[in-house]
Structure 1
Amino acid sequence: MRRIGETGNGRSFFLLVLGCVLSLSAWAQTGVICGTVSDAKYKDALIGASVVIEGTTVGAIADVEGNFRIENVKPGKYTLVASYVSYKSETIKDVVVKAHQESVLRIELSDADLQLQNVVVVAQRKLGTETAIINTVRKSLPVVSGISAQQIGKTQDSDAAEVLRRIPGITIVEDRFVVVRGLAQRYNNVWLNNATTPSSETDSRAFSFDVLPSSLIDNMMVYKSPSAELPADFSGGFVQVMTKNIPDGNTFNVSYQMGFNTNATFCDFRLTDGTWKDYLGFGAGVRSLPSSFPSHLGEHTTEEAAAFTRQINQRWGIDKFTAIPDQKISLTAHRSYDVGDWKIGNITNVNWSTEYDYSETVNNNFIAYDVKNDASRPRFEYDDIRYKNTSKIGALFNWSFLKGNNKYELRNFFNQRGVFALTQREGVNYYSDKNIRKWESLYTGRTTYSGQISGTHTLQENINKVDWTAGYAFASYREPDRKIVNSILDENRTEKPDYYVSDPMRYYQDLKDHSASLAANYEHKFVVSDMFAPVFNGGIYGEYKSRTFDARRFGYNLLGKGYDRYADWDYTDLFTDENISADKIWMRETTTNSDSYTSENMLGSAYVSAKLNYGEVLNANIGVRMEYYRLQMDGYSSDGTTPVHLDNKTTDFFPSVNVAYNLSPKHLVRAAYGRSVNRPEFREVVPYVYFNFERDANIVGNTELKNAYADNIDLRYEFYPASGEMITIGGFYKRFKDPIEETYNEAGSGLQYTYHNAKNAEAFGVELDVKKNLDFIGLRGLSLVCNAAYIHSRVRFEKGAPERDRALAGQSPYLVNAGLFYQHDDKGISASLLYNRIGKRIESVGVPMQNQNEDIPDIYEMPRNSLDLTFSKKIGKVVEIKAGIQDMLNSKVEYKQFVKLTDENGGKREREQLIRSFRPGVDINVGVSLKF
């Protein structure tokens, strides 16, 4: 047996023991520096603040409660440096460390904006955390609400539309349009980063939020009260979406998610023939008219028209398959560079998704109620089956450059969205008294690009500051080769199929929007005394938008014999090349002059404002904004015979006052007044007629629309119990002159939707927003987020008019969002349970008559409950697993009319009519993300 010490192993063991003893001895002779880091004004914990021993890399990061701890510090006297982004660094000298003892410090950092001497902030303010958002809401003078990337990450929300539902006073229409305080999407303004966004919707004034993946959002702020530095064109809310631009170190993230929809996944699916490009969202190009196609078929002979018909005679076949699970992939790279004195950051993201939806919809419409027989009189009663595949591909490429007092940013966002849908409709059209079938094959391609370059320059530290932004945005919306086939039941036919094709149509549409903007702002601070330090702000903003719109319409002549017009949903046997000829089937041009138009607008604005204060107790922002607006449009009347030219110009001034009174560091009251405008959008003034298949109705603009103006008043109380917590309750009042709404009316054999100005309207309501940790009742790691709103509105009409006072279209009388969030950082577990409900709101304004019994009532979207559950688990530092269930309750989406009747004796009664109804299905998602 070998003895220890006689071998190399023995010597190694001896050295190991000696090292341990020396280490223990050294540890026994050290002390600890610990304490807290908080905001000097609000006393909130500064999560992530850095405390470092000067001249070394030894230090610690503050935790969620602001605590830090530096261990194993040798006895002596040290200087510490505490720092946090957007705060002035603090140097603490002569910190004495003794063996076996803790040196406890309480460090308070002041906001860099409050410092007046010799501070250079070389980091960017991060708004992606819940604490940062709450601090921004607290310090803002306009009434504002927001949501951060941190809170977004706790949900399964996949795009910006779903995220917005979590903000107080916000609801979403058609899964992509925002409604603020019950006011429809047309009353809101949206900027992506610091530049305007064009509307890619053909029939509404709105930004489609479903094009923006939630993973790219740094924060979303919704300003609800006007202020001079904000655009005047909003009455509900000004939504500012900021994409991520600050790198999270040097990291690479990849995430994959698979989704299952109970209506669609692994079920039989049908679409017309497609291409692989459909799965990238670029399927519109292969369906477009070829460049060799003539500008108008009416200029050619019948034989030539048949030849051109044969040239584009494609994609009639039905592809039957099983729907695969939804797929989502995202790749993100964060990079930071130091190049001389420059700090450079880059975030690059590429994302792709495809998903399948299936719905069975009851689709009805009614004319005036039959009072005598107490029975509804349907215009049509349909059952719709819809198959839909949505594919998106997007990219983000953002840069930031910092040097001393100068910061430059370059932001680029791109998204391509393709929707491939097939709808089969069957039912009775009571106007023609026929059993009918309608079949629509539709592909839509939507392209969105937004790019900005901006700079921020501090000319004299905390005295003079200039910032500027130049932006360009492009949006296109294409409907290439939209096919609609109408068929009629042959009641005398005994064999199947018994529906014969009567009226096939094809439609091509191409919309392009370009917009450019330029903004510059100047800020100058005056220091009069310790209690009075006013700030002067001034700025200019210019914007130019242009739109080109072109559409082509084609009908089919079905002549002669030798082919079979009977079919069951598959029309390939009818539209074969053999049947396309001058004596059988060929396309005819039905395009008119009104199917194309051009429009442009120009906006020039300037503002001045003053921020006044009395110490930190009272702050006010008083300002006025001037806006010059010019809208031009060239098109034709809806029948295509008369040229229409619009050239509308207005110059308006918009005053605003925002006041905040700090009752204490945790309590404040704010009040605001401002005037705003709501201008008609291109589509709303163009007399172009578009057929909406879902509504089975035409939509046409109104050249007589006027600007709508609103006076807005807000009052809100805010309480900040602790870091990351907020309780607010507020009220608002709005009065509108000439509000713009969408209405519908009878147009021959069908419906037609258009836009008009009411005389005036008003809306008022209360909002509650709560973000509170539940530690105080023993539920550590659990937090509550709840926001609710009650809103009342009334539209007023001229005396003697058939219209009766009613709620604003799109306005919900109440809405509730509630969520329970659980977070256990040590175990890397987080979970959430989210609930949403909105009140009954008008989807479409009806047709009023002098005799109320003859009304065609308003159509209401009915309340429904939505419940989402999410769970995530971090495994080590690299892997995170996420799972979630969206819309667990799968409540019906329903639209109804309520007929109010008065009998001969003055008795009142109400009848209910179902317009549309379907269940969207439950979405189950599982995913994994890797961070390197």
Structure 2
Amino acid sequence: MKSQLTLKKFVATLILLVIATAVFAQGSGKVVGKVSNSKTGETIAGVTVKILNTSRAGSTDVTGNYNIPGLSVGKYILEFSYVGYGTKQISDVEIKNNEITSLDIILDNSEGNVLEQVVIRGTYKKESIGALYAQQKNSISISDGISAEVIKRTPDKNTGEVLKRVSGASVQDNKFIVIRGLSDRYNAALLNNSPLPSTEPDRKAFSFDIIPSSLIDNIVISKTATADLPGDLTGGAVNVKTKDFPDRKTVEISVGLGGNTQTTFKDFYGSKRTAGNYFGIKNPDNNLPSTFPKDRASYTDLNFEQKADHTKAFKNTFGYEKLGKSLPYQNMQFIYGNSYRLSNDGKLGFIGSFTYRNSESKTNEIRNDFNGLDQGLNSYYSQYEDNYYRFNSSIGALANVSYIKDNFKISLKNIYNQSLDQNFINRTGVLENESLRKSTLLEVHQKRMLNSVLDGEYLMNADKQTKLSWNLSYSNINDDTPDLRQLSYVKNIAYKDDPSVPFEAAIPKGSASSEQAGKFYSNLNENIYSGALNWSQGLNLLGLAQTLKVGVFKQYKKRDMNARVLGFVNKIEDYEENKRLLQLPQDQLFAQENIAKNKFFIDDITNPTNSFEGIGDLNGGFGMLSGNVSEKLKATVGLRVENYIEKLKTGSISADVNNNVNNTYTDFLPSLNLTYELNTKTNLRFSFSNTVARAQFRELAAFSFYDFVTGNVKIGNPDLKRTRISNLDLRYEFYPSLGKLFSVSAFYKNLTDPIESNIIAGSTSASKSMSFTNAPKAYIMGGEVEIRHDLGIFNENSELLKNLTFSANASLIKSEVNFEGKEPLLENKRSLYGQSPYLLNTGLQYSSKGGWESSIFFNRIGRRIDIVGFGNYVNGEFQDEYATIYEAPRSMLDFQLAKKIIANKAELKFNAGNILDSKVVFYQDIDKSGKYNIDSDQLINSVKYGRNFSLSFSYKF
């Protein structure tokens, strides 16, 4: 008996072990997703999520997300329930071994479902489609976006390149966004709903190329204003949302090499580099010597011998050399992310990245300038050819830490970037048809940006209808230009073909000139402190869901800009000695033995306007009500109030001139957004709003800067006023099925006091100054069309066509500035500065189950004004004195081919950019034809960039 009992126990234990082994062998996975309100699109916290026929369950957190891990492989039914909403059961939810199943859900709280307590049943596939529709269709404003899945299929390495794919958007220099043809002054940038600082000293622009595309969850461009968005939104607000809580541990590395047809493996020139240059760190030799007097006043009182002694403290950095063959550019990135379930049932998430890039590029440029048209077509003032060598290195880091528990979430989000540009321009050409010139520019430019945001969300009551959200942020921008060096050698054009007559350095005998033989040092430092507090309350009026949201905010920024302008003077009296020294190559010209009171030394030619201090203090609040007016009509109405104080202190050359700025503006900015649901797949939208566009510090400061590249002197205008804009938008949108879209939009904008950049009347090619002015009024009107659909529409039985997706968006825009005769030397009516009359983006993407993906994209923008000229009216007709400069249209074609390898853990990508090898052309439209004609227009500048190719490899552990 005892032996039989022992045998039974052994058999039972063996059976249990076999069952356990079988279960273990099946593996496990997890299901994750987000639950949203079908009518408002807002996420719902506290929803109970059950895995039917098991003991497993969970609930949505404060962000509306749920995560249920440790599910055995198989198919399940999930049930979602919450008080006031219809219960929903979803079948055929398949869990695969070591994989994540995503399932987003929409719940309905309409009156019928609540009273009847109907249990709605559906399948996994259908519900996923329905959730996507809800997300796309329930946006309270007119918006366009791009998701992480689409980003993966583009050739884009950073956010700046991704933004080119969004409807109505184009990008300048691969990093500055233009929306609906409007330049960056009319656009707002946000990262995870927090305003981003400007990364540029001279413009309101964020350099989106510093955010890696692989960390983006989605990008949404809101093209109409709502009260909770910044008031300086006219073209659009770009909100880049980075990934927050990773669904699983993420470890990813990627490396890439790339080349350019006119740069890679070709001779490359520039100043000597240090090891630190390859990590965004400038060479200490470029710093202004610590012993150099702190201001011009204390320097000009010195005698020649003392000035020569100070000059000897400078390193001789005027030389350049051949740095070998240009190497392929490199980029590397490391990403780590994970989520941790804590003992108190809280959840901690971290995601971070480190990015490194360096590149060398060379462009071939033609740069001309012309005398007045009274001297005839193509009456050249200057004709130059530039070889422009650029070395760039940058390091960047992004780190997000988030904690969530029950009804509370807090996050700390940080982004840091440091970059170094070392540029060298080697220029040759003719000036005024009298002298041959060889000029060089050597430039060091180091930029640093830090942006940190601490934000939180808290559901304040048991019914989860009251939410408190807040954020505190700090940003620092530092823009350092140490030791920008300019030097020219000249000889008379009569000796053009006589090599026995050498070029001589153009070092002035009298007053120093930074353009001829000069140095420029500048440093800009800006600190921005901001905070916001928002409260929202869910309402149910007349049986329909609404949300009331109110908030207050503050932003304080302080900018300090300091510059020193220096130039060498020539005090050599002996004729032969003078000729001998001026014929020295530039790396020997300013050697220590040539610095003396009777040879060469530096003079300080800084003027009082070369420094300024600016303060911008923004305070305000908003209130908005959003929700359903009826079952078909949704409305969002709000009012935003912004009080802005701008102060700027700049020195003046004359005691009679006051360059200081002290303005206070209070703006009441109403907004209305209406969405009418024509049917379950179609919306009709209408929007009205008032917005503003403010002048930047650099535009207000009477700071004068000579731009070696263009030959222009740029000067700010302290009298600039902010621009006020009224906006009207209408849009029809149709979502035929998952991931497919057709939309048509129309918009109109009326601008009061738009800010324009123009050449100051009376300027000549020899002395050309640019500034800013307010036009009395302007308008912009246009339309947009967007389509995204697979080609299976032509043959539903073709897998190939189903795997091909076509996308296109096009904008047609008309703008007009009206000076109303108040500026007689400017053309009374013309297009808005920087406004493109059309934008076109098209793409074809292919994705197969075998891991192959490819895409081809085409982008083109219409011509736009680059520099506004001047003239006068003769018998009612405007005659140019210096004609407006236009940027000609440019077509871009890019291609990518990618393949998943190593069990889909790795990916190999090949990219080709600027396949058409199109060049940028800036010209004066002399024949008024509206397009560039080489025979009848004047070419100001053309730049050839070459074709780009790259190969990258990424691996996810």
TM-score bracket, shorter-length normalisation: 0.7 to 0.9
Q: Which moved more, 1:571-580 or 1:622-631?
A: 571-580
Aligned to 1:772: 789
Q: Taking structure 1 as reference, are residues 51 and 501 closer, same or farther at Cα in structure 2, changes over 3 Å only? A: farther
Verify: 1:81 aligned to 2:78, yes or no.
Answer: yes
| Contact 2:715-2:771 at 8 Å conserved across structures | yes
Q: CA deviation at 1:517?
A: 0.7
| Contact 2:85-2:114 at 8 Å conserved across structures | no
Q: CA deviation at 1:38?
A: 11
Aligned pairs for 1:891-902 (under 5 A) are 891-900=918-927
Unaligned 5+ runs, structure 1: 1-17, 27-35, 60-69, 98-106, 119-128, 903-908
Q: Which moved more, 1:765-774 or 1:263-272?
A: 765-774
Q: CA deviation at 1:39?
A: 9.0
Aligned to 2:662: 647
Q: Taking structure 1 as reference, are residues 227 and 765 closer, same or farther at Cα in structure 2, changes over 3 Å only? A: same
Name the SS of the counterpart of 1:849 in structure 2: strand
| Contact 2:717-2:771 at 8 Å conserved across structures | yes
Equivalent of 1:833, from 856, 869, 883?
856
Verify: 1:673 aligned to 2:677, yes or no.
Answer: no
Aligned to 2:895: 869
Aligned pairs for 1:803-842 (under 5 A) are 803-824=827-848, 826-842=849-865
Name the SS of the counterpart of 1:928 in structure 2: strand
Aligned to 1:383: 385
Name the SS of the counterpart of 1:547 in structure 2: strand
Which whole-Å deviations, capped at 9, do the CAs of 1:397-438 have from their partners, x for residues lacking one?
Answer: 1011111111111100001111111001122222x8432222
Verify: 1:348 aligned to 2:361, yes or no.
Answer: no
Q: Which moved more, 1:396-405 or 1:554-563?
A: 554-563
State the AA in 2 paired with 1:914: L
| Contact 2:256-2:952 at 8 Å conserved across structures | yes
CA distance in 1, matches of 2:282, 2:361: 18
Aligned to 1:518: 531
CA distance in 1, matches of 2:35, 2:532: 35
Which whole-Å deviations, capped at 9, do the CAs of 1:499-526 have from their partners, x for residues lacking one?
Answer: 2111310010000111011011111122
Which whole-Å deviations, capped at 9, do the CAs of 1:851-880 have from their partners, x for residues lacking one?
Answer: 334432211111121111101111113221
Which whole-Å deviations, capped at 9, do the CAs of 1:618-670 have from their partners, x for residues lacking one?
Answer: 10011111110100011123679845321100111111110000011100100
Aligned to 2:429: 427
State the AA in 2 paired with 1:110: I
Q: CA deviation at 1:240?
A: 1.8
Which whole-Å deviations, capped at 9, do the CAs of 1:4-38 have from their partners, x for residues lacking one?
Answer: xxxxxxxxxxxxxx99x999x99xxxxxxxxx999
| Contact 1:627-1:653 at 8 Å conserved across structures | yes
Name the SS of the counterpart of 2:939 in structure 1: strand
Equivalent of 1:401, from 400, 403, 409?
403
Name the SS of the counterpart of 2:545 in structure 1: coil
Which whole-Å deviations, capped at 9, do the CAs of 1:562-603 have from their partners, x for residues lacking one?
Answer: 466677995112121111122211111111211111010100
State the AA in 2 paired with 1:891: S
State the AA in 2 paired with 1:283: K
Q: CA deviation at 1:84?
A: 13
Which whole-Å deviations, capped at 9, do the CAs of 1:293-312 have from their partners, x for residues lacking one?
Answer: 32143243322322221211
| Contact 2:474-2:528 at 8 Å conserved across structures | yes
Verify: 1:752 aligned to 2:769, yes or no.
Answer: yes
Q: Which moved more, 1:607-616 or 1:227-236?
A: 607-616
CA distance in 2, matches of 1:709, 1:375: 40
Q: Taking structure 1 as reference, are residues 538 and 370 closer, same or farther at Cα in structure 2, changes over 3 Å only? A: same
State the AA in 1 paired with 2:334: L
Verify: 1:444 aligned to 2:445, yes or no.
Answer: yes
Aligned to 2:333: 330
CA distance in 1, matches of 2:449, 2:114: 43
CA distance in 2, matches of 1:473, 1:823: 40
Q: Taking structure 1 as reference, are residues 757 and 643 closer, same or farther at Cα in structure 2, changes over 3 Å only? A: closer
User: How many equivalent residue pairs?
Assistant: 856
Q: Taking structure 1 as reference, are residues 660 and 915 closer, same or farther at Cα in structure 2, changes over 3 Å only? A: same
Aligned to 1:212: 211
Aligned to 2:734: 719
State the AA in 2 paired with 1:863: P
Q: Taking structure 1 as reference, are residues 189 and 569 closer, same or farther at Cα in structure 2, changes over 3 Å only? A: farther
Equivalent of 2:913, from 869, 878, 886?
886
Q: Taking structure 1 as reference, are residues 640 and 342 closer, same or farther at Cα in structure 2, changes over 3 Å only? A: farther
| Contact 2:435-2:492 at 8 Å conserved across structures | no
TM-score by length of 1: 0.86
Verify: 1:791 aligned to 2:794, yes or no.
Answer: no
CA distance in 2, matches of 1:696, 1:116: 71
Aligned to 2:63: none
CA distance in 2, matches of 1:665, 1:337: 39
CA distance in 2, matches of 1:280, 1:263: 25
Aligned pairs for 1:214-613 (under 5 A) are 214-283=213-282, 286-296=285-295, 297-320=299-322, 321-339=324-342, 340-370=344-374, 375-430=377-432, 433-460=434-461, 461-491=463-493, 494-495=498-499, 498-502=502-506, 503-530=516-543, 532-560=544-572, 561=574, 562=577, 570-613=585-628
| Contact 1:131-1:724 at 8 Å conserved across structures | no
Q: Taking structure 1 as reference, are residues 565 and 836 closer, same or farther at Cα in structure 2, changes over 3 Å only? A: farther
Aligned to 2:68: none
Aligned pairs for 1:42-191 (under 5 A) are 52=51, 54-55=53-54, 80-81=77-78, 92=89, 109-111=105-107, 135-191=134-190
| Contact 2:38-2:108 at 8 Å conserved across structures | no
CA distance in 1, matches of 2:494, 2:104: 88
Q: CA deviation at 1:280?
A: 1.0
State the AA in 1 paired with 2:953: V
Verify: 1:911 aligned to 2:945, yes or no.
Answer: no
State the AA in 2 paired with 1:470: L
| Contact 1:676-1:709 at 8 Å conserved across structures | yes
Q: CA deviation at 1:345?
A: 0.6
State the AA in 2 paired with 1:543: Q
| Contact 1:804-1:848 at 8 Å conserved across structures | no
Q: CA deviation at 1:170?
A: 1.1
Aligned to 2:882: 856
Q: Taking structure 1 as reference, are residues 40 and 244 closer, same or farther at Cα in structure 2, changes over 3 Å only? A: closer
Q: CA deviation at 1:728?
A: 1.1
Which whole-Å deviations, capped at 9, do the CAs of 1:690-719 have from their partners, x for residues lacking one?
Answer: 112221101110011111111100000011
Equivalent of 2:780, from 763, 767, 770?
763
Q: Taking structure 1 as reference, are residues 236 and 342 closer, same or farther at Cα in structure 2, changes over 3 Å only? A: same
Name the SS of the counterpart of 1:199 in structure 2: coil
CA distance in 2, matches of 1:883, 1:58: 44
Q: Taking structure 1 as reference, are residues 646 and 626 closer, same or farther at Cα in structure 2, changes over 3 Å only? A: same
Aligned to 1:658: 673
Unaligned 5+ runs, structure 2: 1-14, 24-32, 59-70, 94-102, 118-127, 507-515
CA distance in 2, matches of 1:177, 1:916: 21
| Contact 1:82-1:90 at 8 Å conserved across structures | yes
State the AA in 1 paired with 2:236: G
CA distance in 1, matches of 2:436, 2:363: 22
| Contact 2:821-2:828 at 8 Å conserved across structures | no
Q: Taking structure 1 as reference, are residues 247 and 293 closer, same or farther at Cα in structure 2, changes over 3 Å only? A: farther
Q: Taking structure 1 as reference, are residues 572 and 636 closer, same or farther at Cα in structure 2, changes over 3 Å only? A: same
CA distance in 2, matches of 1:509, 1:760: 35
Name the SS of the counterpart of 1:357 in structure 2: strand
